[in-house]
Structure 1
Amino acid sequence: MSAAYQLEKWVWTEADFEHMGWHDARIYAIQFGKEISFDIDYIFQWVREDEDSFFSFWVAPVTLMFPEVANVAINVDFRLGTELEIEHIHRQTSAVGATEWHIETHQGSIFVTAESFRQIIRRPPTLQLGQRLMPEERGPSCFDVTPDVDFAESAEVSRLKTVDFVRRQKATDVRCLRRQLEALSEQRNAGALEVKRYLQEKRSLEKKIAALLNELGAAEW
């Protein structure tokens, strides 16, 4: 797995808005009070080493806070069991000239009228196979505003991640071998390979692919 992500800072504000993006960030919980807070998984970076690789993601749990909220409007089709994910956050001006944040989700819209926001990174970003933290790593929802700068994942989470990343690497190897198989077929069709060599290399690649798929135990790869 990759080295630690170099986090620029622990607290981000509206001054950083143009450099931020919430696409596919999952909202776990919303807290209402003097301010409105969102517990989300924030994706700092998408990682793909080459065209055969799957994407992985640097993700951190964050608290997105809007202080001194003048108004909140929610129009979301949020059914039981549905996950709430952000598509984009827009900064706009309301009809009365106030700053309004349009939190566009895949399930509807949330409008927050507030002049500013703070996004607190609660823990250092960690590399994930998906766009959210593993449940075993994330823990229950919360709205902490003090970063845990010394956070370290548990031995069990490290073990689970290692297993998952090994499987992902094998799946990447399958993609690479299949691409080699396609290239081999193209060479044969172009007359660049004699039949005997083509069949030998084809059998070798197919054998490697079959062995990896057997280890993965899943045909969908």
Structure 2
Amino acid sequence: MSSGNHQESGLSKSVWSDTDFEEMGWHDTTIHGLYVQQTDDIPPRLLLDLDYIVRWVHPVRPAKSFSFWVSPATLVFEDVWALEGELGFKDTSPELEIDDVHRLVPDDGRQDLPQWHIQGHAFDLKFRASGFRQYFRHVPRLTATQVLSNAERGGCCFTEIGFS
């Protein structure tokens, strides 16, 4: 596991997990790709290709807009089951932007498989999973937008290696 960090952005390591959940926040994070991986070798997994906002930077006068430290990341949920969701792009662009991620205590008492809820601006995903890892694939960039260009992020990718 890579132990890369980036002091300028405040990122202390390049691989995070569900044990870091309380320190993380996905508000306004863009999802570029979603992959449900199911093979005979491993339990089902849900992989998301993200532009994760590591830190929001308050504007310094005369600037009026926030800037952002953003890194392309792969978010991987393990042992996924009971996956359900909705997409609703009727009046909006087809971007998947996260509003919040919730870890819920399931009604059946199975603490080993919590329920996860990824609430988006035009979508909603709910599923059970044992946990997650998030791999920051590149050093964060300071940018005026919350989304990196395709060239800056290296295209859509599900690599599970953090930068070093």
1:47 is aligned to 2:57:
yes
| Partner residue, 1:205 | none
- Give the aligned partner of residue 27 of structure 1: 31
TM-score, normalised relative to structure 1: 0.62
Contact kept? 2:47, 2:158, Cα under 8 Å: yes
Higher helix proportion (structure 1 or 2):
1
Residue number among 94, 100, 111 corresponding to 2:126 in the alignment: 111
Work out the CA distance in 2 between the residues paired with 1:148 and 1:16. Answer: 18
Where does residue 66 of structure 1 map in the other structure?
77
* 1:4 Cα offset (Å): 4.1
Question: Tell me, what secondary structure is at the counterpart of 1:140?
Answer: coil
Alignment of 1:1-221 (within 5 A): 4-33=8-37, 34-53=44-63, 54-78=65-89, 81-98=93-110, 99-149=114-164
The one-letter code matched in structure 2 to 1:69 is: V
Letter in 2 for 1:100: Q
**What is aligned with 1:153?**
none
1:81 Cα shift?
Answer: 4.9
- Matching residue's letter, 2:66: F
Greater Rg by CA: 1
1:128/1:134 contact within 8 Å kept = no
Render the CA deviation track for 1:139-183: whole Å, top value 9, x for unaligned. Answer: 31010011243xxxxxxxxxxxxxxxxxxxxxxxxxxxxxxxxxx
Three-state SS of the structure 1 residue aligned to 2:131 is coil
Instruction: String of CA shifts for 1:85-124, please: whole Å, max 9, x gaps.
Output: 0000011022223411100000121012012111111111
* Structure 1 residue runs of 4 or more that deviate by more than 2 Å after TM superposition: 3-7, 48-52, 78-81
Residue 103 of structure 1 aligns with an amino acid whose one-letter code is: I
Query: Is the alpha carbon distance of 1:9 and 1:148 closer, same or farther for their aligned partners in structure 2, counting shifts above 3 Å?
Result: closer
- Normalized per residue, the structure richer in strand is 2
**1:114-137 CA distances to partner (integer Å, 9 max, x unpaired)?**
121111111111101100112331
Task: Output the aligned Cα RMSD.
Answer: 1.9
Gaps of 5+ in 1: 150-221
Percent sequence identity over aligned pairs: 37
Higher relative contact order (CA 8 A, sep 6+): 2
